[in-house]
A and B are shown apart, each in its own frame.
Chain A
Amino acid sequence: MKKLFTIVLVSFCTIASLMAGGSKEQAADDGALHGSLTVATNASSPTFEAVEKVIELFMEENPGVEVEYTTYGSDYENLMKARMAANDLPDVFATHGWAVNRYAEYLMPLNDLELSQRISPSVIDTVTTDDGSIVAMPITMEQSGIIYNKTILKEAGWDHVPRTLDEFYQCCEDVKALGIAPVYITGKDTRIQANMMDIMAVSMLITCNDAGDNAERLYDGTFDWSKWAPVSSFITELRDRGYTNVDATTADPIYTQEKLAFGEAMFNFNNQAMITSAWELNPDADLSMMPVPAFHEDDEQIWIGGERECYGIWKDSPNKELAIALLEFMARPENAKIVCDMAGMPAGFIDIDSEQKLSEDYAQFADLKIYPYFDREWLPSGMWATMRTIGGALTAGEMSVEDSCRAMSDSYLSLMSQQ
């Protein structure tokens, strides 16, 4: 009896495995894809759900492919750094604005793919290395300035967003009079102050009418860092005039979403993703994005931008063929549109027709130019750290504006000498 059972079991297994093998070969003949793929991102909802949906569609179209899509959330950067140091990366991963400066040496150039021809001109530079390799595919792009609350703006007696820095300060004064925190700063994580300086520096040092040869001097290492003073002063001015929340040095970033959603803060320096997540708490929050105010009266306002939800392929991935297929699938207009619509972000491709809540507001400023973040274009890699340190110290009053210029200069010179 036992013997019989064994025979039946063995023969069953053999038949089953033969059948499975047979179907596999047949499918391979059809040219269908097989295998598994790991995809990692730092995206949170709703962007994560949007990309997840597209990946599910991909798996439906390719039943032989198993894609494991995970988000590491706020741990993403540290985990990816550890994985880069070990040279062991996911097949496809999100580059969150750092495609060129951080991940380029691990990414496969995408120039030969058709999709690279469709990347929007306003974002393509941010994913292209110095030698012309396009290393990542931006599904959505960022077009940032300052987040503001339209209702509060009206209540403060303004019929337009502040156009210049002076108007911005005046607007802060009017908002402060309403008893609302004009600029919301969450200094427990000094990234916010670094981001503020990163945005304002473009307007104050690059696009203003007296910028002169600042850009060239920043590239060749001869920049006079006393010119940084207005950028640091922006932080200290806000602090000294009482235009920030009282707990600007200690507030945790987790509060931002709620403060914006319920109209307890007027301005915040973040990207559109913060507006989208505030809408999750309160869909009626009257939030929008305004361009960066001009430094002088006769300067232009500007946008700051770059890639947003953006994926690249690990250059040593054993599943490159699959990874390319996935990227091509995600880049199809109908799929990219899903992500843009759900995440509420402008598309990184030229041929996507996506309507978002903010589209109308952006349309008002369609003529304004988009510039990259200051540190990604005009500073040597590593200066972000210095900007975080001085940003935190300036808000806390531990550092004078002059000291912060000196700290920037020291760090800049030492990083330039290492290049």
Chain B
Amino acid sequence: MKKEKQSMRRFIGSDPRALTLLTLPAVILFIMFVVVPIISGINISFTNWNGYSQNYSYVGFDNYRKMVTDPQVWTSFRNTLIYGFGSTLIQTILGLALAMLLSSKFFFRSGARTVIYLPAMVAQLIIGYIWYFIVTYERGALNDIILLFGGDKVDWMSKGFRAVMIITFINSIAYCGKTMIIFLAGLQSIPAMYREAASIDGANAWQSFRHITVPQLLPAFTTSLVLNIIGGLKMFGLVVSMTNGGPGYASHSLSSLINTLYFANQQAGYSAAVGMFSFVFIVFVNVLLNKYLQKKERQYNG
């Protein structure tokens, strides 16, 4: 046994490349659960498969051609942009403000941090269903409050654009806790001496925030922006639980549309094509974003 251990150590020590062997489990999992599904998704997107039959035929680029003229896809794409960038904007502002607030010392600070972070630990679907019962027309909590003040009940999710806005808002406040934690970690890594030096030089609070805190927080911005944008672009649970894409198809995100096309509409081939579009788009946005933010970080860090 001891001998075996030694020989293993010698084997790894003999060639640094042998260390890459240790990544094997991760690589296998990645291939199984990411690479293979993507390749089979590309394959399915060229077929008319209904999602369950053993038979299907190849239809060339038909699915992709159909996508260009399908109003469902474009509405979902527009909504996805709103979900992605809209909630990132709100989440970043809220998260940063909360982080600034909660990095100062006051009574109940750690309790407040927990409460704000709590929703981020709940599954999106559950958050969605809870909110559904708040904004729903029949016995919805919001309408009950309106009735209490003598107003008329409102069917909140019945207008497409309003539904999209409500979902964006709910997503933002549910997950701003995550952003806050990232910024809090970032804030704590800024040495106090910078701010001290600035205050000695006569900088006011805004100036020290603008020229010290923000640049020093850039790595945190990179992380949170990338995570939030991906999260928003992948928006699924909230849409399914709150509107199921409705009214009509007005609040679908690309993800929920893909789900509906695949399972409800039995258009697995077409669904896969929309999935490919969504995949390429998210990769594109993230490569651009990463490039830009890395450039910014380099600028500030010289």
Q: Are B266 and A249 in contact (CB under 8 A)?
A: no
Could you jot down 27 A-B contacts, CB within 8 Å?
A: A78-B263, A80-B52, A81-B52, A82-B52, A84-B52, A105-B54, A190-B246, A246-B153, A247-B137, A249-B247, A250-B136, A250-B247, A251-B137, A381-B50, A382-B266, A384-B265, A385-B265, A393-B248, A393-B249, A394-B248, A396-B160, A396-B246, A396-B247, A396-B248, A398-B247, A398-B250, A414-B66
* B-side contacts of A251, CB under 8 Å: 136-138
State the majority secondary structure of interface residues on B.
loop
Q: What 0/1 pattern do residues 234 to 252 of B give for CB contact below 8 A with A?
A: 0000000001111111100
Q: Does B80 contact A (CB under 8 A)?
A: no
Contact of A250 among B57, B66, B243 (CB under 8 A): B243
Q: Does B104 contact A (CB under 8 A)?
A: no
Chain A, interface residues (CB within 8 Å), range? 35 or more
Q: Complex formed: what's the CA distance from A190 to B249 in Å?
A: 10
User: Which A residues lie at the B interface, using CB under 8 A?
Assistant: 77-78, 80-82, 84-85, 87, 102, 105, 187-190, 246-247, 249-252, 255, 381-382, 384-385, 388-389, 392-396, 398-399, 414, 418
Contact of B246 among A85, A102, A187 (CB under 8 A): A187
Q: Does B76 contact A (CB under 8 A)?
A: no
Q: Are A395 and B51 in contact (CB under 8 A)?
A: no
A78, A85, A246, A389: which has the most chain B beta carbons within 10 Å?
A: A389
A385-B265, A396-B250 are contacts. A418–B243 as well, Cβ < 8 Å? no
* A-side contacts of B51, CB under 8 Å: 81, 85
Q: Are B155 and A250 in contact (CB under 8 A)?
A: yes
* B-side contacts of A398, CB under 8 Å: 160, 247-250
Give the 6 A-B CB pairs with smallest separation, nearest first: A385-B265, A396-B247, A247-B137, A249-B247, A393-B248, A84-B52
A87-B54, A252-B132 are contacts. A247–B138 as well, Cβ < 8 Å? yes
A85, A102, A250, A252: which has the most chain B beta carbons within 10 Å?
A: A250
Smallest beta-carbon distance B24→chain A, Å: 28
* A-side contacts of B243, CB under 8 Å: 188, 250
* B-side contacts of A84, CB under 8 Å: 52-54
Q: Does B18 contact A (CB under 8 A)?
A: no
Q: Complex formed: what's the CA distance from A252 to B72 in Å?
A: 22
Q: Complex formed: what's the CA distance from A78 to B259 in Å?
A: 11
Q: Complex formed: what's the CA distance from A382 to B262 in Å?
A: 11
Q: Complex formed: what's the CA distance from A392 to B250 in Å?
A: 10
User: Which B residues lie at the A interface, using CB under 8 A?
Assistant: 48, 50-55, 57, 59, 66, 72, 132, 136-138, 153, 155-158, 160, 243-250, 261, 263-267
A247-B136, A385-B264 are contacts. A188–B249 as well, Cβ < 8 Å? no
Smallest beta-carbon distance A271→chain B, Å: 19
Q: Complex formed: what's the CA distance from A98 to B264 in Å?
A: 14
Contact of A418 among B48, B157, B245 (CB under 8 A): B48
Q: Are B246 and A250 in contact (CB under 8 A)?
A: yes
Smallest beta-carbon distance B141→chain A, Å: 15
Q: Are B246 and A188 in contact (CB under 8 A)?
A: yes
Give A80's nearest chain B residue, CB to CB: B52
Q: Complex formed: what's the CA distance from A252 to B136 in Å?
A: 9
Q: Complex formed: what's the CA distance from A45 to B264 in Å?
A: 24
Contact of A188 among B244, B261, B264, B265 (CB under 8 A): B244
Q: Are A249 and B246 in contact (CB under 8 A)?
A: yes
Smallest beta-carbon distance A27→chain B, Å: 38
Smallest beta-carbon distance A161→chain B, Å: 27
* A-side contacts of B246, CB under 8 Å: 187-188, 190, 249-250, 392, 396
Smallest beta-carbon distance A197→chain B, Å: 14
Contact of B249 among A102, A252, A381, A389 (CB under 8 A): A389
Q: Are A395 and B48 in contact (CB under 8 A)?
A: no
Q: Complex formed: what's the CA distance from A190 to B66 in Å?
A: 22
Q: Complex formed: what's the CA distance from A389 to B265 in Å?
A: 9
* B-side contacts of A189, CB under 8 Å: 244
Contact of A246 among B48, B54, B57, B155 (CB under 8 A): B155
Contact of B248 among A78, A80, A81, A395 (CB under 8 A): A395
Smallest beta-carbon distance B75→chain A, Å: 9
Q: Are A85 and B52 in contact (CB under 8 A)?
A: yes
* A-side contacts of B57, CB under 8 Å: 418
Smallest beta-carbon distance B113→chain A, Å: 35
Smallest beta-carbon distance B64→chain A, Å: 14
* A-side contacts of B263, CB under 8 Å: 77-78, 81
Contacts A87-B54, A247-B158 known; 20 new A-B pairs at CB < 8 A: A78-B263, A84-B54, A85-B51, A105-B53, A105-B54, A187-B246, A187-B247, A249-B155, A249-B247, A250-B155, A250-B158, A251-B138, A255-B138, A382-B50, A389-B248, A393-B249, A396-B158, A398-B247, A399-B248, A414-B66
B157, B247, B265: which has the most chain A beta carbons within 10 Å?
A: B247
Q: Complex formed: what's the CA distance from A251 to B247 in Å?
A: 10
